[in-house]
Structure 1
Amino acid sequence: MNPALPGVRKHGGWALRPAALATFLLFATSQSTWAQQNEIDPSASATPKSEAALPSISVSSSAANDEVQQLHRDVSAGALGNRTQLDTPYSTTVVTGEELADRQAKKLGDVFAQDASVSDNSNPYNAWASYITVRGMQLDWQNGYRIDGQPFNSYGITLPYEQLESVQLLKGLSGFMYGFGAPGGVVNYVTKKPPAGDKQIASVDVGYASTGVWSEHLDLGGRVGPDNMFGYRFNATHEEGKTYNDGNVRRDSFSLSADARLTRDLTATFGALYQERHSSGITTALSTAQYTGSSLPALLSGGSSTLVTPDQHLNTNLQLYTAGLRYNLNQDWTVSASYSFSKSTRYRNESTFYLLDPAGDYNDYRFEGKEGHQLGAWQVMAEGLVKTGPLQHQLVFGAAYQKQTNDDTANSYYAQIGTGNIYQPNVNRYDSSGFYTYRNADITQKAVFASDTIAITDRWSVLGGVRYTNYEQHGYGVDGSTTSSYSQNGVVTPSVALMFKLMPGTTLYASYVESLEAGTVVGTTYANAGAILNPLRSKQYEVGVKSQHERWNATAALFRIERGAQYANSDNVFVEDGESIFEGAEAGGDVRIGRDWTVGADLMWIATHYQKGSTYDGNRVAGAPGFVAAAHVNYAVPAVPGLTLGAGAKFTGNTNLRPAGDLNVPGYTVFNLGATYTTRVAGHTVGVRAAIDNLTNRRYWEFQYADYIQPGEPRTVSVNARLEF
């Protein structure tokens, strides 16, 4: 069953009835009495502008911070230019570097554990490391991930979270801001940057994660030269040991961020990130494509050794190099130019267990091969202020070029190597070598974009933006011949929004945006493998509120997303057919109680269905849970200065596993605990962090991808000690 939201039709058009919208606005207006006693000056804490940052909602779990969120601070919003988060008419989230350290995140699902709009589909020890679902839609691993605002291919890549300043999520459609991409959203990893002033940074930390993974991390930063002209930030990490699923991991990561203040108005930047990661004994993928039961097999632990074999492995390499210039023409206008090149490679030996029945029997299919992706991107942009009569304009103009090339294995292996049962050890083995790759696809995007945010009054403003893209995509055979081709010029993806300042710390907004995502290259498990489907167009409508105050904050949004539907039909042909509709609401907030307590909660309700197709009309969309709730509490212990205790929980509702609607993943709740302690020893700051994930060692099935499941991770313990020089 999929009960519809109040005021939401199960089928058809825009579902936000006037009564629901009135209730939503009443919620926002009712905050005003309390807010008048807690207003802050939006201009008091402006931070330097950053081209890499998405518009974001900063959530702080530390009681030491003066504010729970930082919605009034300046951020860069891609094609929208620089603006405060309160003035950004989209739903967004950012997780700070301190939060990443507190949670000791190992995969992307850990990063967004407190965001109800995000469902975890990731696994730290196989090729699904970066899979998450946002508002019921999985992110596009080819176009949905960026590092410092620059594109890279994320498949199989686990980023070095200890080297990041923040991880930012733009929910929903990103077509106007970043070009082609799936409507789930965009994740932007922001690397640590050189300090702005005279501060020198030097720290080292050592970590341990069950059942035997050790890590060491070095962080150095500062400024040198005349008038501190040159800034640098260098990070290095080594990780190695036995994982909870009886596998092994070894990782070496390095990142460098540098800037040079060449003149008062001209700044040059450079960035580099390199990571080599090897995982053996990786968790096997579980598919239900051949499954005949009406309910999933009995639960087992994600740490079970029956789901791994020693010959399976995932070896990845990631490289990213960036360079940029920024010049202030005058007080109101700035021009910038940036270039990036990224390269990611994978060498996979990975089984897929095709489950057959509730007893846990399966057919074991093994894939082995190498894959690679390269992305080169240029962008030039000008942004500034203009006044026409009584109207103030914030203008952005720009042009972008991006080319992606994909390499695949010419002689990869994919075949059944045996059978087995998920509750018994697997004795099947396969390992080969001598693979070589060839160029099997390239994708080119050329775009120009412009936006204008018009301040009509002190309270009312309107935003309009458009991106114009020429798109070209080709597929190639092993002999270099063109096997498929698709191109479309003049793709227009607009965005419009209306914003109203209810008070200085509260913004109401309504926005509309369109997006286009690249045509899917059909995978090897389908009857039409290798075919390139046409790009999909999506539309998003959203109304929301953001309210930031000294001791509390609240955000809420109602949204509707219309997206072309893709799935495998009864003949195992992967097709585009009809539309997927997502209608939902999300709301969250944090409040500081007294001096020592911070509590917060986040909720998402969503109703989904297929329509205008020939097969699954009316069914819930696969992968979209109907309800998700997260809550957390932090307590700064007065008797022990520097000690903060935290607890969190997240409930994920039942999820359709496949479009046919005949198999569900039951809902589950996961509890986490954490503690941080900071003190001074011999004049140096020392910090200790501890985290327990899945406190109750709950066993549960987790949706991973359409037709795919994975067992939830077992209880894990992580400890980290840090010394600042």
Structure 2
Amino acid sequence: MPAVFPSRLRPLLQLSLMLSLSASPLLMPVSWADEAARRSYQVPAGSLSAALTRFAGLAGVNLSVDPALVSGRSSNGLSGEYGVEEGFARLLAGSGLQLQPVGEQAYILMPAPEGSSLQLAPTSILGANDETGGDVYAGGQVARRGSQGLLGSRDFMETPFSMTTYTSEAVKNQQARTLGDLIASDPSVRATNPAGGRYEQFTIRGFSLFNSDVAYNGLYGVLPTYTIDMEMADRVDILKGPTQLINGISPRGSVGGGINVVPKRATDKPITSLTANYASNNQIGGAVDVGRRFGEDNQFGLRFNGVKQSGDTEWDHQSVDRDMAVLGLDFRGERLRLSTDVGRTERDTDAPQERVQVGANARVPSASEVRHNYAQPWSKARTKDTFGTVNAEFDVNDSTLLYGGVGVRKSNHDFLRHAVAVTNDKGDFSVQPRDFTRDENVRTATAGVRNWFHTGPVSHEINLAASYFYMDFENGGARYAASPSNLYNPVETPTPVRPTRQDPEVYTENRFSGVALADTMGFFDDRLLLTLGARWQRVKVDDWSDDVKGDTAYDEEKVSPSGGILFKATDKLSLYANYMEGLSQGKIAPSTSVNEDEIFPPFISRQVEVGAKYDAGSFGLTAAVFRIKQPAYETNAVTRVFGPNGKRQNDGVELTVFGEPLQGFRLLGGVMYIDSELTHTTNGTFDGNRAPATPKFNVNLGAEWDVPNVQGLTLTGRGIYSSSQYLDQSNDKQIDAWERFDVGARYAFKVDEKNITLRANIENVADKRYWSSAGASDDSEPGLTLSTPRTYLLSATVDF
């Protein structure tokens, strides 16, 4: 559409658009007296023209628009309860345009007077906008809207799932360097690998989630395999429960939930931010964040984030060097939106810690007596990941959106490591060095169409999407002679030189594909939302060992139905329920088992969940009751053979709180209870036992307090608790409950019109040593995770 029209044609264009809106099938008449009643609206981000047209049709009003005013402009959309004028004001925020009433249920769009600012009517969405314009909830730590793959972006009060979206502000204020640092705020998520280890791994609702299963803007397998740096994230969505309907099959088959990292984008306001940081013992580094928009109507955007940090950690002879560079480019046109992200990360860790395995004849070691790093000084982990994505959205018309994305990654990993398997009560273990290399190549794609329409009084949002994921990886390495050491008094062994045996070269190809269809229907002015959908999934895996094709390959497919229902009982209370199931890739036997690298067939996971969400404006509360079922796996303590053994059922309750209930006082956290039971085990031996590595209670609660009369000063604190956990299906070995306390402060001020923020955090302020995890109950590599010692974090950020 041209940016400028002859003035004599503009009245005709305005009349034409007014008539087309009046005849729109989306138009639903409403009484003007109903303005104060407010309605629920779902208007996706996109071109300003399309957003205004959709909102006007849903609201049942006439809007006359000069095309030259909206050409090339975009809108962040909206989701929630609004009055008509309030909704238009939200869509027009920052555009320099305003509405002018011209009669009952009729408006024209015109430029706002020079120097004026658009004032919004009071609204239930009280948060300010974040860097990318998404609605941030009161307190700024979580966002109202989160990305839900197939279903698009939705407000949490209109989502029939349990979901939390953390903002970049939360990342900055926690000084979160990796995803493992950020999840310390969530009671449903736990880290199951040492912070000073080779890789990060998590559980959600008691089930394993690997970094490979963390999506990047909705695409699996693109982010680094072992550790994900948080400086690249604008938001982090954590969705609880099986996510196969909305995101497809994840590379490692996680079923407890999913995590999606949303990349940063340039904003209309220029961004230049420099950060210097320090972490004990001697980790020093810095980060840069630069964003600019260019061209007519700021159509082109550039955002660059870079990190360099290196030095020693709190553990003996352990050091970490990390480098990250991510460039994001985007284009926002009237109907077309494009973005691409290219990144490179490198991480070198000396003496990374491993999980501690406990032999059949040994009791659980005492964590409080582990005062030194039991990893050998010569052990190392070197990872290099290069990745890129391209995403596109196109508004075919005012009710149809096409979208798609492709992603690639190439990774090279080089480890020199040793297991830590304690064999007796003295803490003795054997150091057997092992070279381990892993090269990965990933190609992934998704494409879909989203359409909005009405059938009588029922609104519909139809989503149809297809996805494809391919990954090949090759493992190899060598073993060296063993030497004795001890968990409590580590013995430094010689650097390995001559291998005693070569491991076979194992090459594996994974191909996952799927097609999903879902319809979200709105009844009673969208107060009742019903989502029904299904995904056809195919899992194909082939493997070779020393060029000999394996006999554990498989090719299976399944159609998995899912659904959710949400009822807005009041403007502040939503009630929901869902049923979700999906096909997941089979487990792979770990290096600690005698059947190492054996691939098991896919399995089905199922979840039933009911919950409630309360939005008080200044703070929010959510509650969920859930049940998840899937097969159980174990490495037999005697035979060391890894394989399935029975089923497990997790029945749980989650409560979360977030927001700013009092001015200057913010809360973030919650509690989760899980009753995890084993059934149908071999000969019923372990039936009725608790599943291993699953605490009954997780509690996380963080608070921030803005000190009165000291502008810019904020004090912070956080407590984390997990109850006891069993190590094995027999429930013979157990780790104790633990708690951790963090404190911190930040001070924001201005110098020469530059915003400066100083941050100081102390994690594990009591310097307690404990086993924070017994692995994960469905994990292929069980073992104890040692807590991180007291750690000091300091940073200074200057925003120009």
283, 308, 315: which one aligns with 1:238: 308
Which has the higher mean CA deviation after the structures are superposed, 95-104 or 678-687?
95-104
Which has the higher mean CA deviation after the structures are superposed, 704-713 or 219-228?
704-713
Q: Which runs of structure 2 are paired with 1:53-452 in the superposition (5 Å)?
A: 67-68=138-139, 73-129=144-200, 131-142=201-212, 144-152=213-221, 157-180=226-249, 181-195=253-267, 197=268, 199-246=269-316, 247-261=318-332, 263-288=333-358, 290-301=359-370, 304-409=371-476, 412-414=477-479, 417-432=482-497, 440-452=507-519
Report how far residue 72 of structure 1 moved: 8.6
SS in 2 for 1:244: coil
Distance 2:450 2:416 in 1: 48
Match of 1:698 in 2: 768
Task: Give the structure-2-normalised TM-score.
Answer: 0.79
Distance 2:380 2:445 in 1: 35
**C-alpha contact (below 8 Å) 1:291/1:355 kept by paired residues:** no
**C-alpha contact (below 8 Å) 1:405/1:439 kept by paired residues:** no
Match of 2:198, as an amino acid?
A
Q: Which has the higher helix share?
A: 2
Report how far residue 715 of structure 1 moved: 0.5
SS in 1 for 2:185: coil
Distance 2:650 2:126 in 1: 26
**C-alpha contact (below 8 Å) 1:297/1:358 kept by paired residues:** no
Are residues 587 and 440 of structure 1, via their aligned partners in 2, closer, same or farther at CA, if it must alter by over 3 Å? same
Match of 1:493 in 2: 560
| 1:521-550 CA-partner distances (Å, limit 9, x unpaired) | 222321222321111111000001112222
SS in 2 for 1:98: helix
SS in 2 for 1:67: coil
Report how far residue 44 of structure 1 moved: 11
**C-alpha contact (below 8 Å) 1:308/1:426 kept by paired residues:** no
Report how far residue 704 of structure 1 moved: 4.7
**C-alpha contact (below 8 Å) 2:368/2:769 kept by paired residues:** yes
SS in 1 for 2:432: strand
Are residues 652 and 413 of structure 1, via their aligned partners in 2, closer, same or farther at CA, if it must alter by over 3 Å? same
RMSD of aligned Cα (Å): 2.9
Report how far residue 439 of structure 1 moved: 6.1
Distance 1:172 1:60 in 2: 27
Report how far residue 722 of structure 1 moved: 0.7
Is 1:526 the counterpart of 2:593? The answer is yes
Are residues 686 and 284 of structure 1, via their aligned partners in 2, closer, same or farther at CA, if it must alter by over 3 Å? same
| 1:490-536 CA-partner distances (Å, limit 9, x unpaired) | x1122111211011232110100002210122223212223211111
Match of 1:469 in 2: 537
Are residues 469 and 672 of structure 1, via their aligned partners in 2, closer, same or farther at CA, if it must alter by over 3 Å? same
Listed as ranges, the gaps of 5+ residues in structure 2 are 1-36, 48-73, 81-124, 130-135, 777-781
**C-alpha contact (below 8 Å) 2:238/2:260 kept by paired residues:** yes
Are residues 621 and 413 of structure 1, via their aligned partners in 2, closer, same or farther at CA, if it must alter by over 3 Å? same
Are residues 60 and 521 of structure 1, via their aligned partners in 2, closer, same or farther at CA, if it must alter by over 3 Å? farther
Match of 2:796 in 1: 721
**C-alpha contact (below 8 Å) 2:222/2:388 kept by paired residues:** no
| 1:260-290 CA-partner distances (Å, limit 9, x unpaired) | 23x41012211111101111122243111x2
Are residues 674 and 314 of structure 1, via their aligned partners in 2, closer, same or farther at CA, if it must alter by over 3 Å? same
| 1:605-636 CA-partner distances (Å, limit 9, x unpaired) | 11011101214211111111011112222110
SS in 1 for 2:369: coil
Match of 2:726 in 1: 656
Distance 1:127 1:543 in 2: 37
Q: Which has the larger radius of gyration?
A: 2
Which has the higher mean CA deviation after the structures are superposed, 365-374 or 237-246?
365-374
SS in 2 for 1:150: coil
Are residues 590 and 253 of structure 1, via their aligned partners in 2, closer, same or farther at CA, if it must alter by over 3 Å? closer
**C-alpha contact (below 8 Å) 1:371/1:437 kept by paired residues:** no
Are residues 483 and 271 of structure 1, via their aligned partners in 2, closer, same or farther at CA, if it must alter by over 3 Å? same
Distance 2:774 2:327 in 1: 33
Match of 1:8 in 2: none
Match of 1:14 in 2: none
| 1:133-164 CA-partner distances (Å, limit 9, x unpaired) | 1111111444x211222212768622221232
Are residues 622 and 108 of structure 1, via their aligned partners in 2, closer, same or farther at CA, if it must alter by over 3 Å? farther
Report how far residue 414 of structure 1 moved: 3.5
Structure with more relative contact order (C-alpha pairs < 8 Å, separation 6 or more): 1
Report how far residue 83 of structure 1 moved: 2.7
SS in 2 for 1:151: coil
Task: Give the structure-1-normalised TM-score.
Answer: 0.87
SS in 2 for 1:79: helix
Match of 1:609 in 2: 677
Are residues 669 and 416 of structure 1, via their aligned partners in 2, closer, same or farther at CA, if it must alter by over 3 Å? farther
**C-alpha contact (below 8 Å) 2:422/2:429 kept by paired residues:** yes
Distance 2:143 2:721 in 1: 30
Are residues 433 and 369 of structure 1, via their aligned partners in 2, closer, same or farther at CA, if it must alter by over 3 Å? farther
Distance 1:151 1:360 in 2: 40
Distance 2:423 2:374 in 1: 15
Distance 2:735 2:281 in 1: 28
Match of 1:680 in 2: 750
583, 598, 617: which one aligns with 2:666: 598
Match of 1:359, as an amino acid?
K
SS in 2 for 1:660: coil
Match of 2:263, as an amino acid?
T
SS in 2 for 1:685: strand
Match of 1:709 in 2: 784
Are residues 430 and 518 of structure 1, via their aligned partners in 2, closer, same or farther at CA, if it must alter by over 3 Å? farther
Report how far residue 305 of structure 1 moved: 3.3
SS in 2 for 1:484: coil
**C-alpha contact (below 8 Å) 1:68/1:553 kept by paired residues:** no
**C-alpha contact (below 8 Å) 1:627/1:653 kept by paired residues:** yes
Identity %: 25
Distance 2:725 2:38 in 1: 42
Distance 2:511 2:528 in 1: 39
| 1:626-671 CA-partner distances (Å, limit 9, x unpaired) | 1111222211012211111111101110011122211111101100
SS in 2 for 1:227: helix
Match of 2:30 in 1: none
Match of 1:3 in 2: none
Report how far residue 389 of structure 1 moved: 1.9
Distance 1:275 1:298 in 2: 33
Match of 1:478, as an amino acid?
D
Match of 1:627 in 2: 697
Are residues 723 and 677 of structure 1, via their aligned partners in 2, closer, same or farther at CA, if it must alter by over 3 Å? same
Are residues 692 and 190 of structure 1, via their aligned partners in 2, closer, same or farther at CA, if it must alter by over 3 Å? same
Match of 1:532, as an amino acid?
I
Match of 1:723, as an amino acid?
V
Match of 1:487, as an amino acid?
D
Are residues 42 and 235 of structure 1, via their aligned partners in 2, closer, same or farther at CA, if it must alter by over 3 Å? farther
Q: Which runs of structure 2 are paired with 1:39-50 in the superposition (5 Å)?
A: none
Which has the higher mean CA deviation after the structures are superposed, 699-708 or 245-254?
699-708
Report how far residue 189 of structure 1 moved: 1.7
Are residues 528 and 40 of structure 1, via their aligned partners in 2, closer, same or farther at CA, if it must alter by over 3 Å? farther
